Amino acid sequence: MFRLAFHTPQIPQNTGNAIRTAATTGCELHLIRPLGFDLSDTKLRRAGLDYHDLASVTVFPDLDAAFETWCGARVFAFTTGARKIYSDIRYRPGDVLLFGPEPTGLPPDVLADRRLTGRLRIPMLPGRRSLNLSNAAAIAVYEAWRQHDFAVPPEPVRRSPAQPEAGRPPSEADEPG
Ligand SMILES: C[S@@+](CC[C@H](N)C(=O)[O-])C[C@H]1O[C@@H](n2cnc3c(N)ncnc32)[C@H](O)[C@@H]1O
């Protein structure tokens, strides 16, 4: 399935919305630290409603750790400054759709990272700054899934609170809800 990755997200409601998107589409949600909130944040839990247990969420200590896990996968960075349009890509299962933090977007060093497959934008009317992070992510994931006829994947491996983070032992603070 596809992987939705949020680089250093700051607003808990957006990540809560993405947890719901992960639960409804079967994509995995990868969160890259540092996060601007605690995973037990009430606003995150509310935005994710009762979908937390249906979503696969993994937290990485940094981008390098995420790239290690993604080894060999295509990684597309979503940014308003890209030339290529997101719907012109033929997505493949395993592709990573990487999004930047609110409100600054992906930092220049990440956008210049040679491990990226490409940079993509979602069209907007002229003079508009950006879409909301969770809306942009949902648009991208649904396009990737649509291209695969909304195929129902095998039951995802769900991250329980006991296995929340790649690279370090779990703690209660990691509970995705
Ligand atoms: C609130 S936006 C950040 C806005 C930031 N000023 C920028 O230009 O990237 C958070 C993230 O949503 C994604 N995003 C929002 N609108 C987008 C668009 N039109 N095309 C591609 N990505 C978009 C990007 O990944 C961005 O880093």
Confidence of residue 171 (pLDDT cuts 50, 70, 90): very low
Q: How is residue 24 annotated by DSSP?
A: H
Predicted pLDDT of residue 155: 67
- Average pLDDT score, the chain: 89
* Interatomic CA distance for residues 82 and 140, integer angstroms: 14
In DSSP notation, 85-149 reads EGGGS---TT-EEEEPPTTT-S-HHHHT-TT--EEEE----TT-----HHHHHHHHHHHHHHHTT
Predicted pLDDT of residue 158: 60
- Is the CB–ligand 1 distance for residue 80 below 6 Å? yes
Confidence of residue 159 (pLDDT cuts 50, 70, 90): low
Enumerate the domain spans of the chain. Answer: 3-153
Report the separation in Å between the CA atom of 100 and the middle of ligand 1, taken as the mean of its atom positions: 7
Enter the pTM of the model: 0.89
Across residues 89-100, what is the average pLDDT?
Answer: 97
Class (C level, CATH) for 3-153: alpha beta
Predicted pLDDT of residue 156: 53
Residue 133 CA: nearest ligand 1 atom is 12
